[in-house]
Structure 1
Amino acid sequence: MPEDTLQPLSNNIRLLGGILGETIAHFEGKRIFNKVEKLRRHAQKARLGSATAHKDIERELQTLSHNEKYKVAKAFTEFLRLANLCEQVHRIRRRKEYQRTGSNPQRASPLDTFSRLLKAGISRKAVTKALLEVQIELVLTAHPTEAMMPQAIRAYRDLSMCLLKLDSAEPTVFERELIVRDMRAIVIQLWLSGVVRDKKPTPVDEARYGLELAERILWRAVPDFHYLMSAAYKEVVGDMSELYPRPIRFASWMGGDRDGHPGVTAHVTKRVLHETSHAATARYLEAIKLLRHLFVFDRDTRGIRLQKTCQKYLDTMERKLKEFRRGLPKGKTSFTRVEFLALLYDLQKFLQDNGVEDISRGPLQEFIWRVRVFGLCFLKLDIRQSADVHETAIDEILGGKYAGLPEQRRIHMLLKGIRKPPRRRRLSRQSEEVLKTLRLYKDVPLEFLGPYIISMAAKASDMLGVLFLFRAAGVDARVRICPLFETPESLASACKVMDQLYRIPLYHRHAGAQQHIMVGYSDSAKRGGYLNSAWEIYGLQKDLLALGKKHRVHTVFFHGRGGSVARGGGPIETALLALPRPLQARTIRVTEQGEAIDSKFGLPDVAERTMELYLSGFMEAVLSRPQKQPAAWTSAMERLAYRSKSAFRAVVYGEADFMKHYLQLTPTAELGLLKIGSRPGRRKKDGGLESMRAIPWVFGWTQSRTLLPAWLGIAEAMDSEIKAGNLKTLQDMYRRWPFFRSVIDLVEMVVAKADEQVTEYYSALLVEPSLQWLTKDYLDRLARTKKILLKVMKRKKILETSPVLSRSIRIRSPYVDVLNILQAHLLKEYRSLSRPSADLRKTLALTIGGISAGMRNTG
C-alpha cells in the first residue's frame, strides 16, 4: 500500500495518541506522562539498535511504585488498543474508497468475485447455482482469548464511529471540534474505568455479549452486505429479483458449549435461547411499526385498498410474533421462520403487482434479508458435550453393563436400545443433566438449535451413543449429530469410524443425505505441531469426501479454528482457497473465537468485509476446477509432516524439563489473573500438557513473543528436503499449490511477530540457569525457520510482500516491548512472594491484556 494511502491512518493514530497523552497528563500528572514518554523513546531507540536502551527502560521502571507501574502499563495498553482501532477504521476507509471509484473493485468484493469467476470461464448459470446453494455458517464462540471487557469494546466502537464521522464529509471547524470533544470524552471514560475484570464472566454474560454483537453490528451489516451482493450480481451476472440467496448465516456456542464446563446447564441454555429470541422478535416488532408508517397512501379507492391490505399483512405478522413470544416459555410455538418469510414475500409481491415496487425495496427488503439470516432467534445455538460424559450416562441407564464392553458389543447394545429404549433408572446429577439438555430439542423450536457436537469423538459408539441418549430422553426429532475429531488418534481413525457408521442402516437413515463432521486444529497441533496438523486435516478431508461419495452422503465440514495460526487461524480467503477439491456439499461451518470476533465483526463495515471475504473464498473454492496434484508434491508433504512432527515431539514431549521451562518462561500459570473466560483452562484438574487446553498453551507462548507452537519442527523438516535436493520442488509447491502456500504464508506471519530479544530477556530473568539452554535451542530453531522460509518463498526478507502488516508490527513493537519488560519483572516478583499484593496482581494482569492487544492473534 503506497505511503500516501497510509497517511490518514498515521493521522488517526497521532490524533488519538495525542488525546490519550493529554488525558494521562491531566488525570495522573506530568510525572507519569513524562515517564510514559521517556519509556516510549527508549523503546524506539532499542528498536533502532541502541545497546543501552533496554537498561534505560529497566531503570525508569524501577523508579515506579506498583500503582505507577499500573498507570504506565495502562497507558501502553490503551495506545495499542487505539492503534488496533485506527487500523480497523483504515480498512473501512480503503473499502469505501474502492466503492467510490467503482472502476477498480476491491479484491474479494462481490463485484470482483463475480467478475473474476466469469472471466475464468465459469458460466453465469453455474455462478447463480453456486450462489443459491452456498451456505457459510459462522459460529461465534466464547473461547477465552478476548482480553478486553465488553464496556471497553463498546467504547472503542464509539471511538471508531467518531473517526468515521471525520472521514464521512468535510466537517466544518465547529463540527470537527464537536467530534474531537466526543472522542476526548470517550478516551477519558476509558482511562478512568477498570481495564481488568474483577471476576470471570458467566456463560450468560458471554451469551449476552454475542447477542449484543448481533443486535448492534450484524443487524446493520447483514442487509448492507446483501444489498452490495445483489447490486454486484445485477451488474455482472443478471437480474436477482426472483432469486433468494442466503450465503452467510450465524450461530453460536455461547451458552451451549458444556464441554468441560459445569456452569453450562440445560437451564442456562434455555435461558440464553429465550433471551436471544426475545431480542429478535422485539426487533421485528419495531420493523413492523416502521412499515406501518411507510404504508400510508392517498385516501382514494385504490389507496384505501392498498393500505388496508398492507396493514392486514402487518397485523398478521404482529399477532403471530406476539403469540410466539407468549408461547415460547411454555414450549408452545407454531410460528416459524419459513412462515414468517412467506408472509413477507406475499406482501412484497402484492406491492409489486400494484405498481408500487419501489416501496417494497428499502425497509421491507432489509426486513426480509434479516429474517432470512437471523430467523426467530438471532443466533442458532449449537450444543456440545464430551464423549466421556455421554459414556457415563449410558452406563448408568444400562445398569453399569456398558462401560466395560468391547466396541462391537457396545454397538449391538446401543442399536437395541435405540429401537426399544430401556426403562428409566435413577441417575446421577451429571447424567440427568445430559438428558435435560437433550430434551431441549423438543422443548424449544428446532430451528433455534444447531447440530449436537460430540467433542473427543473417537469411536462409532460415540455417535450411536448420542442417538441412544436422545431416545432415552424421549426425543424423536431428527437431530444432526456432529462428531468432533480433534486428537491425532481420532483424526487417524475418523474415516474408519464414519465408514462403520454409514454401513449401519439405522444410522445412515438418521444422517440422511448429509453428515456434519467437525475437525479440530488445536489438539492435533499441540500434539504434533502445526505443519503436521495442517496436512493431517487436509488429507482427512479428502478421504472423508471420497468416503461420503461412496456412501452417497454429502460431507459438511465444520472447522474448529482459533484466532492464532497454531490453532488453525489466519486470513479467511487463504484458508478457504486451501480446502481440498472438489467440495461435494456447498455448506461449510467455521468457528470465530475470542479476540477474532471483535477484529472481524467489531464494526458494521468490518463485518460486511468479513462476509465478503468468506463469500469470495468459498465461491472460488466451490467453482474452481480441481488442480492436479503431482505425486512428488504429495510425497514431499508426507515427509515434511512426518519429520516436522518428529522434531516437534522430540522437543515438547521428549525433553524432560520442557514443561518446567515453559511455565518459567511464559506467564501461562498466571493467565487466570486476567479472568477472561468462564470455562476452566484445563479439561482435568490434574495432569500436564495433555490436560491443558490449547488456548492457554498458545496464549502463553504469545506473551513471551516466542510463538513456538506455530513454527517448531518446520525448519528441521524443510532442511531435510533441501539436503535431499528438493528445494525446487518446495518452491514449485509454494508457487502453484494453494494449500502449501497458505501454510507457508501463515508461518511467515508468525515468525515475523516472534521476537528473539524479548524471549531471551524473559529467559535471563525468569528461567533457572540450568534450563536456559532450552531457550537458546528454541531461538536457534526460530532463526533457521526464517532462513529456510525465505529460500522456499524465494525472497530476501520476511514480509517482503506484506508491507502493511510489516509496518503494523514495526509501529506497535516498541509499545509491546515496554509491556514485555515490565511483565517479566512483575512475574519475577510475583513468583517470589507467597502472598502477592492486589496491586501487583492487577498490574500483571494488565500487562497480559496489553501484550494481547499488541500481538492481535493471541490464542
Structure 2
Amino acid sequence: MSPIRHVDLQLRRDVRLLGQLLGEVLIEQEGQSLFDLEERVRRLSIQRRRGPKSERRAAATQLAALLREMPLGQAEPVLRAFSTYFRLVNLAEQHHRMRRSREHALSQQGPQRSSLEAVMQSLKQAGIPASRVRELLLSMRVTLTLTAHPTQASRRTVLEKTYRLARLLENRDRGHQTPREKADTQLSMREEITALWQTDELRRERPTVGDEVKNVLWYVEEVLGEQLALMPETLDWAFERAYGEPLGVLATPVRLHSWVGGDMDGNPLVTPDVLADTLRAHRARGLRNMMNLVAQLGWVLTQSERHTFVSKELRASLEKDAADLPEVMARYGPRTVGEPWRRKLRFIEARLQAALAYVEGRRAGRTDPLPAVAYRSPADLLRDLEIIERSLIEAKARQGGLRKVRRLVSLVQAMGFHLAELEVRAPADDARSAAASLEGGPSPTEGGARLLAVLQRMREAQAESGEGCCRTLILSMASSAEDVLAAFTCARKSGLWDEGRGCATVDVVPLFEQLGALDDGPRILRELFAHPEYRQHLQARGVQEVMVGYSDSGKEVGLLAASAALYRAQSALTQVAHEAGIRLRLFHGRGETVARGGGPAHEAILALPPGSVAGTYKATEQGEALDHKYARPELARRTLELVLGGVLLHSLDAQPRLASTEEGPFRAAFDELAEIGRRAYRSLVWEDPNFVPFFQTATPIEEISALPIGSRPSKRAAGGLESLRAIPWVFAWTQNRAILPGWYGVGSALEEYGSRPEGLALLKRMYRQWPFFHTVIDNVAMVLAKSDMAIASRYAALAPESTRPLWERIRAEYSRTRRWVKRVTGESRLLEGNAQLRQSIALRNPYVDPMSFLQVELMRRKRAGEANCDRPLLLTLAGIAAGMRNTG
C-alpha cells in the first residue's frame, strides 16, 4: 500500500472515530430516541444520493416528510448534531492536509507540489541563476491584509475547543502511544466533544469591533508570528536544496496588515476613538508579545563569560544600560553576574516594559511623556538585538543561540511593535466632502467629518509610534483622479506630511471595484502621474498602490465579465505605471468564494497578467479563510509557501506562459466570452423584474442579516439589491445550494462561442495553454460540483409562482454550464482530475442535505407565521456554512 493511500485511510479512521464519539455524546446528552432520529435522517440523506433514481426520489420524499412533521423542539438538536459533525469533519480534513504533507516528505517521492522546495527546483531547472533568486528575495514583499468582513460564522469559544481537539488528533499521530496514553487521548477527545455540544454555537449578540480586533490578532500571536520568524530558515533550506549553496541572512518577505478597527466603509461602529484604541491595542499587545519572546530568549543565552569571549561592543552596551537603568541593574545585576547576554536581555525587557507602560497610560487617558529609557521604535530594539547577534558570532556561539536571535530579529523586522500594521478604508465620497470643506466649501458630511477626525488620530499615532503603525488610506468606490487628490489634500492639511521628503506620510490607495472604475483605472493613473505635487509625493514614497476589488464587480456584471475586466485593468495599470517610471503595487481584494475572487492562491497568482507581480504581492485574507488557512502552524506554513512560491515563479517568469502569438487571439476571445456572459447575467439579475422577489424569497437573505457574525451591517446604505454587499449576496446563494454568482452566464458564453466553427477547438486550446483561462474554468467547475440544483429547487418553491419561468432559466443555465465546462476541459465528469476535492464534496453532501431540507421547512414555517423559528434557522445558516466551507 502506498504511503499516500495509507494517509487517506487514516482520514476515514479519524472521521469514523470522531463520528463515533459524537454519537456517544448524543446518546448521553439527548437520549437514544434523538440519536435514532438523527440516524434515520442521515440514512435517508445518504439514500437520496445513492442507488437507482426511483430509490433516490423516494428517499428525498421521505426525508422531506420527516422533517416537515418534526417539532421545533426536535429540530434544534438534530441541526446541532449535523452542525457539530461538520466541525469535526472540517477538523479531520485540516489535520489530514497536514498529515499528507508530512507523509509526502517522509515518502522520499520528491518535494510536495508547489512547496518552496519544489519551486526552487523549478527555478533551477528553468535556468534561473542563484544570484537572481537571491536578489529577488532580498527585495520581495508579500503583504497579507487580515479583514473583519462578516464571514466567520463560528464563535471564538467554539473554535478554541476545535483547536484543542486538533492537538489531540496530532498527539495520536505522533510517536507510539502506550495503551494508557491512547485511552487518555480518546477520553480527552470525548470531553472536548461533550463540552462542544454543551456550548452555544451562536453568539448572543453581534461582536464589537474590539472583539474582532482580538479575534484577528489571535491568529497573529498564536500562529502567524512564529511562522514569519521561521520563514527565512525555510527559504534558506529550500534554496540550498536546489542550488547547493546557502542563501545567506535574509529578512522575512512577509508582512501582516489589518483592516480590523480601521475599515469605515459602511461600518458606523469604526469611529475615530475606536481607531485610536485599536492602534494602541496593537502596540500594547505587540510589546507584550515581544517581552515574552525576549524573556524566553533569556533562558537560551545563558553563556558565562568564564567560558566564552565577550565583545567590547557588548560590554560597552551593558555599561550604558546600567547607567540608564539603575533600578534594573540593582534588581537583576546580582542574578546575572558573569552572564552578559542574559543581562543584556533583562535591559531589553525593561525598555520594552517602559514603552508598554507609556502605551497603557495613553489608553487610560494619561498624558505622561514617553520615558527616555523606553524604545521609541522597533529600530531601537533591532540595534540592541544586532549587538547580541554580532557578539555571539565573535564568541563562536553560532550554534549556541544565534539562530533564535535571528528569528527574533526577523519577527521585529516583519511586525515591529504592532503585530499587524493597521490600514484605514473610507468611501471616496467622504474624501471629496472633507477636502471641499477644507478648501472653503460647505461643512463636511458625517462621513467626511469622521474621515478628518480619523486622519488626526493617524497623525497622533504616527507621532507616538512612527509612520509604520498606520500609513495606508484606501478609498472604496474610487472612480476618478479627483477622489485620490481629495484624500491627498485631506492628509496634508491634517498634518500627515513630511516637509523634508515633500510627501504625505500615508499612501492613498484607490479601490477600483465596479466595471466602469476598473476600465477607467489606467486613465485615472495617468492623470495622477501628471499632477506635479502628487507625482513628487509618489517619487518620495516610492510606490503607487492600487486595489482591485473582486466582489462588487462580480455582483455587478457576473463572473466572466468581472474576470475579464480585472485582467484588463491589471495589465493596463502595470503598463501605465511602467511608462511613467512609477513602481506599482497591486492590492487584490479577494474573498474566500470563487464569486469574490477566491480559489487556490498559488494558481491565482500564476494566472495574473505578465509583469503585474514583479516581486510584490498584496491580498486580503477574509473571514473564515483565517480559520481554514491559519488555525494551525502547519496550515499557515503551507499557505505562506504557496503564496511565496507563486510570487517567485511569476516574478522570475518561470511558470508556463502564453505564447506571444496566442495572446492577442486568446484575450480577444475571452473578452467576447465576457460580453456574452455579462449580457446573460445582467438580463437575469438586473433586468428581470421577477429577480428581486425571487432572490428575497428563494434564499435566506433576511435571516443572514440577523445572524450576529460581524459588526458591520449587510448593506452599505438603505436601498435594494444595489446596496447589498457582495458578502451576504454570495452567502445567500451558497446557503440555498445554487451558488449562482459563481457560474451564471458562463454556460451561455461557452455555448455561443463554442458553437461557432473552430470555436470549441479554440476554447480547448485556451484551457490547455493559458493559465488565466484554465484557472477561471477550474474554479467554475469547483462551484458547479458544490452546487445542488435539486435542493435549490426546494428553495425556489418558496418563491411566488410568477417567478417560475425565472427559475427555469436558472436551471437551464446551470445544465448548460456543466455541459460546456466538461466539453472545454475534456473531462467526462466535473473535477475528474481532482479526486481529493471530489471525495471531500461527496463526503459532505449527505450531511449538508438534511440541514438544507430543514432550512427550507423552517423558512416556510416562519413565513407562515409560526413562532420560535429564528434560532433553529440561524443554526441552519451556521451549519450549512460549516458544511460548505464557505459563507461569503
Same fold (TM over 0.5): yes
2:681 corresponding residue in structure 1: 648
Deviation at 1:450, TM superposition (A): 4.2
- Alpha-carbon deviations, 1:782-829, whole Å to 9, x = none? 011011001111111101001111011111101111000000010011
Deviation at 1:339, TM superposition (A): 3.1
2:781 corresponding residue in structure 1: 748
Deviates more, 1:487-496 or 1:804-813: 487-496
Computed over aligned residues only, the root mean square deviation of the Cα atoms, in angstroms, reads 1.9
Deviates more, 1:294-303 or 1:734-743: 294-303
Deviation at 1:654, TM superposition (A): 1.5
Deviation at 1:320, TM superposition (A): 3.0
2:693 corresponding residue in structure 1: 660
Letter aligned with residue 281 of structure 2: E
Q: Is 2:526 the partner of 1:502?
A: no
Letter aligned with residue 473 of structure 1: S
Q: Note if contact 2:297-2:404 (Cα within 8 Å) is conserved in structure 1.
A: yes
Q: Is 2:57 the partner of 1:24?
A: no
Matches within 5 A, 1:348-387: 348-387=389-428
1:693 corresponding residue in structure 2: 725
Letter aligned with residue 204 of structure 2: D
Q: Look up the SS of the partner of 1:690 in the other structure.
A: helix
1:13 corresponding residue in structure 2: 15
Deviates more, 1:70-79 or 1:357-366: 357-366
- Alpha-carbon deviations, 1:86-108, whole Å to 9, x = none? 10000000111123345511112
Cα 1:554–1:584, aligned 2, differ >3 Å: closer, same or farther?
A: farther
Cα 1:223–1:97, aligned 2, differ >3 Å: closer, same or farther?
A: farther
Deviation at 1:620, TM superposition (A): 0.6
Cα distance in 2, alignment partners of residues 302 and 131 from structure 1 = 35
Deviates more, 1:240-249 or 1:734-743: 240-249
Deviation at 1:427, TM superposition (A): 6.0
Q: Note if contact 2:68-2:857 (Cα within 8 Å) is conserved in structure 1.
A: no
Q: Of 783, 788, 793, which residue of structure 1 is paired with 2:825?
A: 793
Deviation at 1:429, TM superposition (A): 5.6
2:150 corresponding residue in structure 1: 144
Q: Is 2:336 the partner of 1:317?
A: no
1:199 corresponding residue in structure 2: 205
Q: Of 545, 550, 566, which residue of structure 2 is paired with 1:521?
A: 550
Q: Is 2:493 the partner of 1:472?
A: yes
Cα 1:225–1:9, aligned 2, differ >3 Å: closer, same or farther?
A: farther
Q: Is 2:718 the partner of 1:673?
A: no
Q: Note if contact 1:321-1:335 (Cα within 8 Å) is conserved in structure 2.
A: no
Cα distance in 2, alignment partners of residues 225 and 108 from structure 1 = 16
Q: Is 2:745 the partner of 1:739?
A: no
Deviates more, 1:366-375 or 1:791-800: 366-375
- Alpha-carbon deviations, 1:407-440, whole Å to 9, x = none? xxxxxxxxxxxxxxxxxxx766644432221123
Cα 1:689–1:62, aligned 2, differ >3 Å: closer, same or farther?
A: closer
Q: Note if contact 2:496-2:506 (Cα within 8 Å) is conserved in structure 1.
A: no
Deviation at 1:312, TM superposition (A): 5.2
Deviation at 1:471, TM superposition (A): 2.4
Q: Is 2:459 the partner of 1:442?
A: yes
Letter aligned with residue 709 of structure 2: I
Cα distance in 1, alignment partners of residues 480 and 310 from structure 2 = 65
Cα distance in 2, alignment partners of residues 322 and 198 from structure 1 = 37
Q: Look up the SS of the partner of 1:98 in the other structure.
A: helix
Q: Note if contact 1:387-1:454 (Cα within 8 Å) is conserved in structure 2.
A: yes
Cα 1:240–1:428, aligned 2, differ >3 Å: closer, same or farther?
A: same
Cα 1:661–1:604, aligned 2, differ >3 Å: closer, same or farther?
A: same
Q: Of 781, 791, 806, which residue of structure 2 is paired with 1:758?
A: 791
Letter aligned with residue 673 of structure 1: A
Percentage identity across paired residues of the two chains: 31
- Alpha-carbon deviations, 1:185-220, whole Å to 9, x = none? 111111001011111111111011011111112133
Give the aligned length: 830
Cα 1:344–1:127, aligned 2, differ >3 Å: closer, same or farther?
A: same
Matches within 5 A, 1:707-856: 707-725=739-757, 726-764=759-797, 766-833=798-865, 837=867, 839-856=868-885
2:332 corresponding residue in structure 1: none
Q: Look up the SS of the partner of 1:147 in the other structure.
A: coil
Q: Is 2:646 the partner of 1:617?
A: yes
Cα 1:341–1:496, aligned 2, differ >3 Å: closer, same or farther?
A: same
Matches within 5 A, 1:100-499: 100-237=106-243, 239-240=245-246, 242-298=248-304, 300=306, 302=308, 308-311=339-342, 313-328=344-359, 329=362, 330=367, 332=370, 335-400=376-441, 430-444=447-461, 445=465, 446-477=467-498, 478-499=505-526
Q: Look up the SS of the partner of 2:102 in the other structure.
A: helix
1:417 corresponding residue in structure 2: none
Deviation at 1:235, TM superposition (A): 2.5
Q: Look up the SS of the partner of 1:454 in the other structure.
A: strand
Q: Look up the SS of the partner of 1:592 in the other structure.
A: strand
Deviation at 1:589, TM superposition (A): 0.9
Q: Look up the SS of the partner of 1:324 in the other structure.
A: helix
Deviation at 1:5, TM superposition (A): 2.9
1:558 corresponding residue in structure 2: 587
Cα distance in 2, alignment partners of residues 465 and 240 from structure 1 = 49
- Alpha-carbon deviations, 1:515-545, whole Å to 9, x = none? 0000001111111101111111111111011
Q: Note if contact 2:738-2:792 (Cα within 8 Å) is conserved in structure 1.
A: yes
2:334 corresponding residue in structure 1: none
Cα distance in 2, alignment partners of residues 164 and 809 from structure 1 = 24
Deviation at 1:340, TM superposition (A): 2.2
Q: Note if contact 2:304-2:340 (Cα within 8 Å) is conserved in structure 1.
A: no
Q: Look up the SS of the partner of 1:517 in the other structure.
A: strand
TM-score scaled by structure 1? 0.94
- Alpha-carbon deviations, 1:141-167, whole Å to 9, x = none? 111111111111111111111101100
1:638 corresponding residue in structure 2: 671
Q: Is 2:108 the partner of 1:67?
A: no
Q: Note if contact 1:142-1:253 (Cα within 8 Å) is conserved in structure 2.
A: yes
Deviates more, 1:651-660 or 1:224-233: 224-233
Cα distance in 2, alignment partners of residues 245 and 776 from structure 1 = 57
Cα distance in 1, alignment partners of residues 140 and 305 from structure 2 = 45
Q: Look up the SS of the partner of 1:800 in the other structure.
A: coil
Structure 1: stretches of 5+ with no match in the other structure: 402-425
Q: Is 2:593 the partner of 1:593?
A: no
Letter aligned with residue 7 of structure 1: L
Letter aligned with residue 749 of structure 1: M
Cα 1:352–1:184, aligned 2, differ >3 Å: closer, same or farther?
A: same
2:45 corresponding residue in structure 1: 43
TM-score scaled by structure 2? 0.91
Q: Of 96, 100, 103, which residue of structure 2 is paired with 1:94?
A: 100
Q: Look up the SS of the partner of 1:335 in the other structure.
A: coil
Which one has more relative contact order, counting CA pairs under 8 Å at least 6 apart? 1
Cα distance in 2, alignment partners of residues 251 and 234 from structure 1 = 30
2:327 corresponding residue in structure 1: none
Structure 2: stretches of 5+ with no match in the other structure: 315-337, 499-504
Cα distance in 2, alignment partners of residues 595 and 584 from structure 1 = 26
Cα distance in 2, alignment partners of residues 241 and 570 from structure 1 = 31
1:408 corresponding residue in structure 2: none
Letter aligned with residue 376 of structure 1: F
Q: Is 2:61 the partner of 1:55?
A: yes
Letter aligned with residue 588 of structure 1: Y
Letter aligned with residue 549 of structure 1: H
Q: Look up the SS of the partner of 2:721 in the other structure.
A: coil
Matches within 5 A, 1:506-585: 506-512=533-539, 513-583=542-612, 585=614
Deviates more, 1:282-291 or 1:333-342: 333-342
Cα distance in 2, alignment partners of residues 428 and 750 from structure 1 = 42
Cα distance in 2, alignment partners of residues 822 and 297 from structure 1 = 66
Letter aligned with residue 710 of structure 1: G
Letter aligned with residue 515 of structure 2: P
Letter aligned with residue 353 of structure 2: K
